[in-house]
Each structure stands twice: as structure tokens, then as C-alpha cells.
Amino acid sequence: MPSDRLETRLAHVGEDRASHSGAVVPPLYQNSLFTFESWDAIDQAFDDRVRYPIYSRGTNPTVRAVEEKMASIAGAPAARLFGSGMAAISASILHEVGPGDHVVTVRNVYGPTQNLLGRYLREKMNLETTFVDGSDPEDFERAATDRTRLFYLESPSSAVFSLQDLAAVARIARDRGIRTIVDNTWATPLFQKPLELGIDLEVHSVSKYLGGHSDLVAGAVMGSEGDVRSIAVREYELLGGIMAPFNAWLLQRSLRTLPMRMERHQASAGAVARFLESHPAISRVRWPGLASHPQHTLARRQMTGFSGLMGFTLATDDLRAIKRFFDSLRLFQRGVSWGGHESLVYAPAISYLKELPPERFDELGISLGDMRISVGLEDPGDLVADLEQALATIG
């Protein structure tokens, strides 16, 4: 059966129908506990507790089956699912670092990851983190010291859509014995395969495109058999940020349509990005799929497609006009997450203004008129028309 075609693997990998009365939808093991016939049977299970279900904080069959499917679509030797993207990210970072170590990451890394590295782990274990621009691989080389244990990447970044050259950064890391993790949430395992480019671990917020329906929060770590097993018996079990069986069951359903959803997100995002780029009320569009993106060549080299989250800037600093645009959107709903079936809009200035006066925006390269949209699965013509009518309110 094993096929190299993604859609076929999604339909069949990890689904042992013969053991489940031929059920076309695998059963949900909504169990905390699994029992054994004998002393010897439980003794044997303890010797390989990643494989044998004993207690669902370690292994659960529903979760295992979806992990196999996830690894298969990512071209990864192994995968482990977590209760959230942040559970996966914190487990994988803690797996790599110890007290007093040094980490290099990108300035625009996902906010909670930035807090985890730059604040929480600094306070808890004296971890030192250097934040670099990261668009030049040399940024990592220059920042590395003999205490550097980890380069933590996010490409493209979900805040500003800048990329890191994953193969080049992985080479620099290998030469120095430094480990690498990339947050691959934006591209999904369909459009970017970091492990093939030499990255050690790939982490995801499954809450975005992989879940895809805005009905679950989950995370994933993918990497070598050895790394994932080691994370499974240490951080997964000890910190307990586990994947719930029901969420894994929902995720399995989501994954069946992942390639079709991503094709549609990509096509609609392209149509929306080109419309925005041609509109006089917009000064800038940030989407790696556009030829005008400063790293478009690298984007094409290391990704095979582009997802539906993008940024753009309204060509005005008039907060009333900006709010009018934001509030006038009818199909784009106002909310912070992304990657679901529904189109969303968020204005980062809502967060910035809580900490900074607008006079300081310029020096940080941000604008009052910055918008972030997640292009969903609605008709792309309707989405463009919605943006057009909202842009007309700016005047």
C-alpha cells in the first residue's frame, strides 16, 4: 500500500481498519488507562512505553495513529502531538537547553516564544538569548558563542513574514555542534520540509492550518526517531502538555482535507495579495508568494507553496480612518488566530498601543495602519469585494 502520494498517505497511513471491525473512521480511545492480562504483559509494556499504551499521559492509540500520519506527510521519521503549539515549543526548547546556555533566535519570533526565551527561561535558569534579524545566515554565525546550544528559527515569521535560509543556518549550526529548531506553522509540513534542509526539529501550532477548522488547540514536534522518543519519555511525560485523544481524533478528520484546503488558501491568498498590492490606499503588502517580497527567491527555493496569512499597511496614519476600515469588514472577522476555514483580520496596533505611543512606531518599523489577514476558504471574489468596500470607507 505505501504510496509516495500525499493524498493517499493521508487516507491510509496509521489506520489499521482490520483491527477495528473495518471501521472507516478509526475509533476514539477516550481512555486514561489501559489494563493488562498479566505481570509479564505489563512488564513488557513498560520496556517500550512509547509504543504500548499504559496511561494516556504517555501513549494513547488514537493520538499515536495521528502522529504516524503527521510524520508521514512531513516526511519526518517521527512525530509527537502536544496539547498546544506552546506545549510543543516549550518541550522542544527545554529538551535542548540547560542552565546558563545561550540561544540565538529571530527578533520577530512568535510573541509567547519570545517571552519564554527572553524572559521566563532567563529568570528560571539563566538562559541567555540573542535576538537577531536572521534574514542573513551570518547573523547567526556572528551571534554564536561557545555557550550557544540552539538556533531557534521561525520561517516565515507569522508577525512580519520574513524568512531565514534554513539550509544555510542548519549548516552553520552543524559545523559548531549547535542544534536547530524551526517553527514551521506558517508553511505547514506540506509547503516546507525543514528536516530535509538539515534542521533538527520542526515544531507546529496544530491550532492553525493543520487543525484548520478553529475547533482545536494542539501542537506537534517532528524529528528523528531518537529525538522524538527522548522528548516523549522526558518533556512529554514529565511536563504533561499532552494531546487529548478527542482532539487527535478531530485532527485526523482535518488532515484528510489538508492538501485541498492549502491549495485553496494559497490560490485565494494570491488573488487577495495581488488586489491589495494594486490598491492606492495600501502602501505595502507582506506575503512571501509575491514577487515584490524581498525574499521571494529564497521563499521559492525552500518552500513549495504559500499559505493564507499576510500583512499589509494602509497608506494613512489617521486612526479614525484605520478603525473605520477595520470595523467595516463583513466577511473578514476580527480575531487574533489564523489558519482556519474563516477569514480573519487583526490590527497589530491594538496590541502595540498598549505599550507604546504612536510616536515610537516609526523607529520600530511598525505603523498604525498595519493589518494582518488570514485568507480563509470563502469565495476569493467575495473576499476581494469585502476588502474593496472597506477600503472605500477610508476616503
* Identity of the residue, 219 or 308, whose beta carbon is nearer to ligand PLP in the bound complex: 219
Report the candidate in 110, 118, 83 with the shortest Cα–Cα distance to residue 338.
Answer: 110
Q: Which residue of the set 179, 193, 208, 372 is catalytic? A: 208
- Residue 229 Cα distances to 225, 290, 384, 393, angstroms: 6, 39, 46, 55
Give least dist CB 375 to ligand PLP, A: 15
**Closest residue to ligand PLP: CB criterion:** 85
Give least dist CB 391 to ligand PLP, A: 26
Hunting for cell 529564497 — which residue is that?
A: 298
* 79 and 228 Cβ atoms separated by less than 8 Å: yes
Q: Which residue of the set 17, 57, 147, 174 is catalytic? A: 57
**Rounded-to-10 torsion of CA 159, 163, 168, 169:** -10
- Residue 146 Cα distances to 97, 102, 244, angstroms: 14, 9, 40
Q: Respond yes or no: is residue 183 known to be catalytic.
A: yes
Give least dist CB 54 to ligand PLP, A: 27
Alpha-carbon gap, residue 364 to 394, rounded angstroms: 25
- How many CB atoms within 10 Å of residue 199? 25
Site residues (CB under 6 A) for ligand PLP? 84-86, 110, 154, 158, 183, 185, 205, 207-208, 217, 219
Give least dist CB 185 to ligand PLP, A: 4
The beta-strand segments (E) located in 133-218 are 148-154, 179-183, 201-205
Give least dist CB 346 to ligand PLP, A: 12
Q: Please give the radius of gyration of the chain, using alpha carbons only, rounded to the nearest integer.
A: 22
Alpha-carbon gap, residue 322 to 327, rounded angstroms: 9
Alpha-carbon gap, residue 279 to 312, rounded angstroms: 11
Give least dist CB 336 to ligand PLP, A: 9
* Identity of the residue, 113 or 316, whose beta carbon is nearer to ligand PLP in the bound complex: 113
Residue 180: all three cell numbers together:
536547530
* 88 and 184 Cβ atoms separated by less than 8 Å: no
Q: Respond yes or no: is residue 57 known to be catalytic.
A: yes
Q: Which residue of the set 183, 200, 370, 386 is catalytic? A: 183
Q: Which residue of the set 29, 52, 110, 152 is catalytic? A: 110
Q: List residues with catalytic annotation.
A: 57, 110, 183, 208
